[in-house]
Amino acid sequence: MANNSRNRRKEVSVPTPFEQARDEMFQQVIRCGVPQATPEHQEEWFNETMTYLEDRYHELTKEELTELRTLGLRFSQPPKSRIESEPVDAATAA
């Protein structure tokens, strides 16, 4: 009866308008080089892009558009560097 699990088709979920808009925005952030832009250009880019996404995905609520902008701004920030942790010596470990 192990064959039953192999023969089952996986349900393909259709992305929501929010997921489609998010993915499209992330692709454009990378394609347009937004992370390398100055903060002023980033602001201008996001203003124009959010207007475009609002027109393209009219199903999105104001809250979803705000969340999209927040996600995009976070995605556009340079990666945070990891702080090198110093090795713990025997005196502080005890």
Looking at the domain assignment, is residue 21 inside a domain? yes
Look up residue 88 and give its two tokens. Answer: 């713990």
Burial of 17 (0-12, 13-18, 19+ CB in 10 A): middle
Domain count, the chain: 1
Looking at the domain assignment, is residue 20 inside a domain? yes
Looking at the domain assignment, is residue 62 inside a domain? yes
Question: Each residue's pLDDT tens digit in the chain (94 positions)?
Answer: 555 666 777 788 899 999 999 999 999 999 999 999 999 999 999 999 999 999 999 999 999 999 999 999 999 987 777 775 555 555 555 5
What does the buried/exposed string (b/e) look like for 52-87 if buried means 16 or more CB atoms within 10 Å of the residue's CB?
Answer: ebeeebeebeeebbeebbebbeeebeeeeeeeeeee
Inter-residue contact 29 to 72 (CB < 8 Å):
yes
The domain of 56 spans 15-28+47-70
Look up residue 90 and give its two tokens. Answer: 């025997």
Looking at the domain assignment, is residue 90 inside a domain? no
Inter-residue contact 41 to 29 (CB < 8 Å):
no
